[in-house]
Amino acid sequence: MRVEVLPVEKWAGTVAAEFEDRLGPGLRLCLATGATPIPVYSLLASDALASSTVFLLDEFGGLPPGHPGRCETMLRSALLDRVPAREFHFPVVDATDLEIECRRYRDLIDDGGLDLAVLGLGMNGHLGLNEPGSGAQQPTRVVELTPETRDGARRYGANPPPNWGLAMGLVEILAAREVWLLVTGPTKAEVLDGVVNGPVTEQLPASLLRGHPNAVIWADEEAGSLM
C-alpha cells in the first residue's frame, strides 16, 4: 500500500490531477460520496467522465428518492450534474426484493470489474458501508449501520438517520485494479494511524487494503499527523 501525505492546501488539486491522469476510454469507476471527495470532484473538468462508467459505492436505506442525504443525490449534485458520466449505475434501495437488487448490482460490477475504486474512510474504519466485522469475502449486500455511521449520515442531512444501507461488498471493492482511500482532516488522524500501522483486521475494514496489490492512501497532513 502506498501512502501519500500532502499539504492541506495541495491535497485536492493533487488528487484531482492524478484522477484525471487515470481517466481513459471505458474506465470503470466506483465513487464514494460523503464530505471528503467533494473538493476533488469540484476540480474535475466537465468532460472528465464522458467516456467512463461510474458505480455508486453505497446507498442509505429508508430515505425518499431525491433526499439530499441519499448518496445518489449527493454524487449527482457534487459531481455528475456538472460532470456527466457515460453511464451511471447505483443500487436501487427502493427495490421490492433487495436480495435480487444486490445480485443485480453485483453482477453489473463483476461484468468487467472496476478499474479504480475511490473510497472515503469512516470514523470507525468502515469502507463504503462495510462496517467493522465485514470480511474481505463479503459481497454486495444489505447492511445494518453502526451508531458512528448513523451519526455520519446526520451530517449529510438525514434526520433521523438511516439504520440500514446497501453496500458494495469488500469482495467487489478489493477486486478493483486500483483502490484509493481519500482521508482528510484531524478527526481522521487516529483511525488512519490504525489503518496504516495497526493490525490488519476485519474490525477495521480499511486495514484490509494493506493486502491489495495496488492501493493508495491520499491523506492530507492533518489526517496523516499521527502516522
Residues contributing to the site for ligand F6R (CB under 6 A):
32-36, 57-58, 71, 120-122, 126, 128-129, 152
Minimum CB separation from ligand F6R for residue 129, in Å? 6
For the bound state, the minimum distance from the C-beta of residue 126 to ligand F6R, rounded and expressed in Å, comes to 5
**Distances, alpha carbon 68 to alpha carbons 10, 73, 76, 117, 216, in Å:** 29, 6, 10, 23, 30
Determine the residue with CB nearest ligand F6R: 120
Q: Which residue do the cell numbers 485494479 mark?
A: 177
Determine contact, residues 171/137, Cβ cutoff 8 Å. Answer: yes
Measured from the CB atom, is 51 or 202 closer to ligand F6R?
202
The set of catalytic residues is 58, 124, 126, 131
Shortest Å, Cβ 16 to ligand F6R: 16
Q: Which is nearer to ligand F6R, 152 or 194 (CB)?
A: 152
Query: DSSP assignment of 23-82, as one string?
Result: --TT-EEEE--SSTTHHHHTTS-TTTTTT-EEEE-EEESSSPTT-TTSHHHHHIIIIITT
Looking at the Cβ atoms of 121 and 179, the one nearer to ligand F6R is: 121
